[in-house]
C-alpha cells in the first residue's frame, strides 16, 4: 500500500487486508508489553493543521507500539502562523527524513495535494468535508469485531451528513462491504445530489429505528456551518437526537456508534451514553489497532516482526 487518501482507493479487498492485519495488531496490543519492533528505525510525521484528540493520539500510540519514531507537527505553534505555505511546510518536514506523513487539514483535497509533493507515503487523517478513511476503517473493524456480517446489515447514519467527512467515507466503506446504508437527516443537513452517494435517505429517525442494526450518530459540526441549518439545537435533539425513548425502539442487539467528539444533549441524550449498546470507546480502542495496521502496511517493516 502506498498513500491512504480515501476508502474508494482501497476497495473491499484493501479494507479486508487492513482488517486482517488489525487482528494481528489487536493480539500485539493485548500482550503485557504491547510493543513490537516492526517499524524500528522508521520515522512517521504527524502533521495536524486542524484540531484533533482521537486521531492524533491514536496514530501516535499506534506508531509507538510499532517502535517508530514520531515527528509531531502542530500548525497552531508553527511557522504557518508566519505565512509559510503548505508546500514549504511539508517539504521542510520531509527533508528531515520521514517514512510516512499523516495529514489532517481543514481543506478538502489537501492530503492528495501533499501526496503530489512528497516522496513519502501520505495518510489522510481527515480533510475538510471530504474523507476520513481511518475513521471508517476503525468503524468497520468495530462492527466486524462484534461478529456482525456486513452483507445485508442495516446501518443508519444520522445527522449532519452535509459537513461530514466521516459520513462520506463510511457510506463508501459500509456500502462496498455489503451493508444497506440509510442517511437520516433534515433536508438542510444533506448535501445537494445526495442520491449520488449511493445510500437511501429518510427524514424520520423514528421511522427507521426498529429496523436498524447499527445506529451511527454524526456530530453537529457548528464550526463548519456558516448559517443556521436547523431551527435550534434543542429542536434538532427533539427530532433527530437519540433520546431514551428512541433508544427503546432500537433492537436489543443494535450497536450505537459515534466518531466523537460527542455533543451530549444534541446528538445523544446524556442518559443514553451509558446504554450497553453504545460502542464509542470500543471505536477509540480499535482506532489504535487499525492505525497500527495502516502504518505497518504503508511504511513496511524491518523484517515483518509483529
Positions touching ligand CP (CB under 6 A) are 52-55, 126, 135, 259-261
The answer to whether 5 touches 124, Cβ cutoff 8 Å, is yes
Task: Say whether 238 is catalytic.
Answer: no
Minimum distance, C-beta of residue 166 to ligand CP, in the bound complex (Å): 7
- Whether 54 is catalytic: yes
- The smaller minimum CB distance to ligand CP, of residues 36 and 100, is found at 100
Q: Annotated catalytic residue: which of 104, 112, 130, 165?
A: 104
CA-based nearest residue to 255, from 291, 290, 217 = 217
- DSSP E strands in 142-243: the ranges are 154-158, 180-184, 200-202, 214-217
Q: Is 132 annotated in the active site?
A: yes
Q: Which is nearer to ligand CP, 53 or 92 (CB)?
A: 53
| Shortest distance (Å) from residue 228 CB to ligand CP | 23
Residue 181: is it exposed, middle or buried by C-beta count within 10 angstroms (0-12/13-18/19+)? buried
Q: Spot the catalytic one: 54, 148, 203, 277.
A: 54
- CB neighbours (10 Å) of residue 60? 18
Among residues 21, 55, 182, 212, the one annotated as catalytic is 55
Rounded-to-integer distance, Cα 270 and Cα 127, Å? 29
Residue identified by cell 451509558 is 274
If the CB atoms of residues 128 and 259 are measured against ligand CP, the closer one turns out to be: 259
Tell me whether residue 188 is one of the annotated catalytic residues. no
Decide the pairing of beta strands 122-127 and 154-158. Answer: unpaired
Question: Which DSSP category does 83 fall into?
Answer: T
Q: Pick the catalytic residue: 56, 65, 105, 132? A: 132
Whole-number minimum distance, CB 195 to ligand CP, in Å?
26
| CB-based contact 212:151 (threshold 8 Å) | no
Q: How far is the CB of 135 from ligand CP (least distance, A)?
A: 5
Residue 237 or 291 having the CB closest to ligand CP: 291
User: Is 193 one of the annotated active-site residues of the chain?
Assistant: no
Q: Which residues are annotated as catalytic?
A: 54-55, 82, 104, 132
Amino acid at each position: 500500500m502506498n498513500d491512504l487518501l480515501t476508502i474508494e482507493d482501497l476497495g473491499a479487498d484493501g479494507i479486508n487486508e487492513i482488517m486482517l492485519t488489525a487482528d494481528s495488531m489487536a493480539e500485539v496490543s493485548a500482550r503485557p508489553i504491547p510493543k513490537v519492533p516492526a517499524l524500528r528505525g522508521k520515522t512517521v510525521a504527524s502533521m495536524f493543521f486542524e484540531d484533533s484528540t482521537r486521531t492524533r493520539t491514536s496514530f501516535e500510540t499506534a506508531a509507538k507500539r510499532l517502535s517508530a519514531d514520531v515527528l509531531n507537527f502542530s500548525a497552531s505553534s508553527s511557522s504557518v502562523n508566519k505565512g509559510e505555505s503548505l508546500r514549504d511546510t511539508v517539504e521542510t518536514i520531509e527533508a528531515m527524513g520521514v517514512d510516512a506523513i499523516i495529514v489532517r487539514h481543514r481543506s478538502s483535497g489537501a492530503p492528495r495535494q501533499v501526496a503530489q509533493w512528497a516522496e513519502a507515503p501520505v495518510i489522510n487523517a481527515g480533510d475538510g468535508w471530504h474523507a476520513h478513511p481511518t475513521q471508517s476503517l476503525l468503524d468497520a473493524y468495530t462492527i466486524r469485531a462484534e461478529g456482525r456480517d456486513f452483507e445485508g446489515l442495516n446501518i443508519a447514519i444520522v445527522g449532519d451528513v452535509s459537513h461530514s467527512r466521516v459520513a462520506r467515507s463510511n457510506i463508501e466503506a459500509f456500502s462496498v462491504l455489503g451493508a444497506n446504508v440509510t442517511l437520516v437527516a433534515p433536508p438542510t443537513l444533506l448535501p445537494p445530489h445526495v442520491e449520488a452517494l449511493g445510500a437511501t435517505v429518510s427524514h424520520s429517525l423514528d421511522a427507521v429505528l426498529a429496523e436498524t442494526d447499527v445506529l451511527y450518530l454524526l456530530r453537529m459540526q457548528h464550526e463548519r456551518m456558516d448559517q443556521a441549518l436547523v431551527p435550534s439545537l434543542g429542536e434538532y435533539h427533539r427530532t433527530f437526537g437519540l433520546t431514551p425513548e428512541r433508544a427503546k425502539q432500537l433492537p436489543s442487539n443494535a450497536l450505537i456508534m459515534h466518531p466523537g467528539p460527542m455533543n451530549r444533549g444534541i446528538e445523544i441524550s446524556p442518559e443514553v451514553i451509558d446504554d450497553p449498546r453504545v460502542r464509542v470507546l470500543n471505536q477509540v480502542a480499535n482506532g489504535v489497532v487499525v492505525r497500527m495496521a495502516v502504518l505497518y502496511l504503508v511504511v513496511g517493516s524491518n523484517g515483518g516482526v509483529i
